[in-house]
Amino acid sequence: MIESQDLLSPRSRALLALDFRDGPLWEPTTGLLVARSGQRFSWSRGASTLASVTATGGTYTAPDTMPAWELASSALGLRLGTNDVLRENADVNFAVGAISGEFAFIERGARAGTAGGTLLALSADNPTSGVRLYIDTSGSVYRLTADNGTSSATVTLGSGAPASGDEVKHRFEWTGSALTLKQSINGGAYVTATGAGVALPPAWGSLRWRIGRRGLTQNPAALTLLRLLVLPGALSDSILDEAY
């Protein structure tokens, strides 16, 4: 039996699964990108192009209004320059609890860029206060910060410096009592940074997932997004390996 699928229906049981390896999921009438888990994401770049994007057959310059779809690791990725904004279209709607996640991307120079450049964030439009969780760079290595609105904790990778073009996989976990960030470069062994966390907040509030920045405009970083998975609970690597 061969059946076509409703490509916009949720195909993941994760809290969030943003993954374009099977092709772009989009809402034709709005142009919003649709996660496998059903959430929609808005994208914009303002009045600027993005050059040297790789595709089968050559590179191209993406026009202002077009997401820069890129051939990355033999799959479809979304190239994000520092002017690109990709954020969830509505506030997160899952209950507060320990969360784990996997974030796969192609390094495009963010690590060695300006300290604070943010790969991934769960934050409000104004990210300078309140609850937030984000992976940013110290200027030399990546680090994970959790802030419950009152106090914060940060764990920093002691080693591991992906070069531009490397395929990087981050796994993160915030349980309340502990905070963990793992990094694998080009399929290598994970390097782990772990430390005491801060208590989970009573509510997430008006937070949204964002790729390549924190808040509306703050702390931009360039990368090629391959995959973001967020799951409930503190999960082992083997379970995350099976998540989709």
Site residues, other proteins (CB under 8 A):
1-5, 7, 21-24, 26, 28-31, 47, 49, 55-60, 63-66, 69-72, 74-77
Q: Closest separation between CB of residue 3 and other proteins, Å?
A: 6
Q: What is the torsion angle, in degrees rounded to the nearest 10, for the CA atoms of residue 182, residue 187, residue 189 and residue 191? A: -30
| Complex with other proteins: residue 65 or 128, whichever CB lies closer | 65
Q: Closest separation between CB of residue 82 and other proteins, Å?
A: 18
Taking a C-beta distance cutoff of 8 angstroms, is the pair 212, 224 a contact?
no
| Complex with other proteins: residue 78 or 124, whichever CB lies closer | 78
| Complex with other proteins: residue 50 or 207, whichever CB lies closer | 50
Q: Closest separation between CB of residue 215 and other proteins, Å?
A: 22
Q: Closest separation between CB of residue 212 and other proteins, Å?
A: 19
Phi-psi region of 133 (alpha: psi -120 to 50; beta: other; left: phi over 0): beta
Strand 40-44: give its sheet, edge to edge.
33-34, 40-44, 85-88, 208-211, 118-123, 131-137, 142-148, 152-156
Structure-token match 């399929």, residue found = 187
Task: Say how far residue 67 (Cα) sits from the centre of its chain.
Answer: 16
Structure-token match 């490509």, residue found = 7
| Complex with other proteins: residue 60 or 190, whichever CB lies closer | 60
